[in-house]
């Protein structure tokens, strides 16, 4: 008996103290053991698994602006390797910190973030042109809101792998409007009854010109139009109208009724152009077009674009 006891004592001396379980074979995890920061000391393996899994399943808080979204890790593609960690903890000495391995399927995270983007993204709103009291009015443009999806996936995956539950602030992008009050460009307002053409830079007054407009039989149309074509030194072609019957095309030159510049409108057959008949300016004598002094038509031609809005109003 003494011989056996001596051998047992010798074996005990050869076993490192750190390998001696603190529970002394009680079937519970040693005191002070943590799994992924969760205390499991004194628990059975089953209880430890439940505790760690419950802690891991704590919802993640995502914040976008003033909105809070709570979502469980599994919906973000996160999985915790709980059982291997518990097995390691069961064999660990007291006060051991056992890591919890977490994997994230970023395709799942990406899909979830894309759904959030559909909910929260707002397109930028361009400035809109209106006419109020005979003057242009431009509504205020608004920047858009766009979830930075790449950064959201990256930050969310990093927080899940680190197994922290601090709120994740999702970054936003703010795309700017393409059309603003400052870059809107020229706007033309023609007061038919006054035979005057007002040019604005956006909503800001720029210049005014005397013009000739259509006679009673061939009135200049009222409404909102755009400049659709610009021609230098245009040919004049007789329109399909009784007043032009039998006339022939006129090439560019001093006698051309369109002068040296033509700015055709989206109203069929109607345009703004110069005229060699300076005496007609200020009167309603044209066949529907808007006539200008040739130098002024040339100046206007250089300061407007295809797409420029033209309002024609009665007075």
Distance between CA atoms of 7 and 183, rounded to whole angstroms? Answer: 95
Rounded distance, CA 186 to CA 196, Å? 16
Please answer whether residues 191 and 307 qualify as being in contact, where contact means their C-beta atoms are separated by less than 8 angstroms. no
**Residue that has been written with the tokens 């505790």 in this structure:** 51
The tokens for 143 are 């920047």
Catalytic residues: 273, 289
What does the angle CA 272 – CA 315 – CA 270 come to, to the nearest 5 degrees?
25
Spatial CA neighbour of 30 closest among 81, 80, 86, 76: 86
Sort 77 into a burial class: Cβ within 10 Å, 0-12 / 13-18 / 19+.
buried
Cα–Cα nearest to 29, from 86, 72, 73: 86
69: closest CA among 147, 161, 183? 147
What values do phi and psi take at 118, rounded to 5? -60, -30
């Amino acid at each position: 008996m003494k011989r056996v006891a001596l051998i047992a004592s010798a074996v005990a001396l050869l076993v490192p103290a750190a390998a001696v379980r603190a529970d002394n074979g009680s079937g519970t995890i040693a005191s002070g053991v943590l799994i992924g920061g969760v205390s499991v000391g004194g628990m059975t393996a089953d209880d430890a698994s439940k505790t760690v899994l419950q802690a891991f399943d704590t919802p993640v808080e995502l914040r976008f602006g003033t909105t809070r979204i709570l979502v469980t890790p599994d919906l973000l593609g996160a999985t915790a390797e709980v059982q291997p960690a518990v097995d390691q903890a069961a064999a660990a000495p007291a006060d051991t910190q056992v890591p919890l391995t977490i994997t994230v399927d970023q395709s799942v995270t990406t899909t979830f973030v894309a759904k959030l983007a559909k909910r929260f993204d707002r397109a930028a709103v361009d400035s809109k042109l209106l006419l109020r009291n005979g003057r242009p009015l431009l509504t205020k443009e608004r920047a858009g809101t766009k979830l930075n999806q790449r950064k959201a996936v990256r930050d969310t995956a990093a927080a899940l792998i680190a197994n922290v539950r601090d709120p994740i602030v999702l970054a936003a992008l703010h795309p700017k409007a393409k059309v603003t009050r400052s870059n809107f460009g020229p706007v033309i307002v023609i007061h038919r009854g006054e035979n005057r053409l007002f040019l604005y830079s956006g909503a800001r007054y720029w210049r005014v010109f005397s013009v000739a407009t259509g006679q009673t039989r061939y009135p200049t149309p009222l409404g909102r139009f755009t400049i659709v074509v610009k021609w230098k030194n245009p040919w004049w072609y007789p329109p399909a109208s009784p007043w032009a019957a039998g006339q022939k095309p006129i090439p560019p030159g001093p006698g051309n009724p369109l002068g040296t510049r033509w700015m055709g409108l989206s109203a069929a057959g109607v345009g703004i152009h110069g005229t060699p008949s300076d005496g007609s300016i200020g009167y309603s004598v044209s066949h529907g077009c808007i006539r200008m002094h040739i130098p002024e038509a040339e100046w206007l031609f250089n300061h407007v674009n295809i797409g420029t809005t033209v309002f024609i109003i009665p007075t």
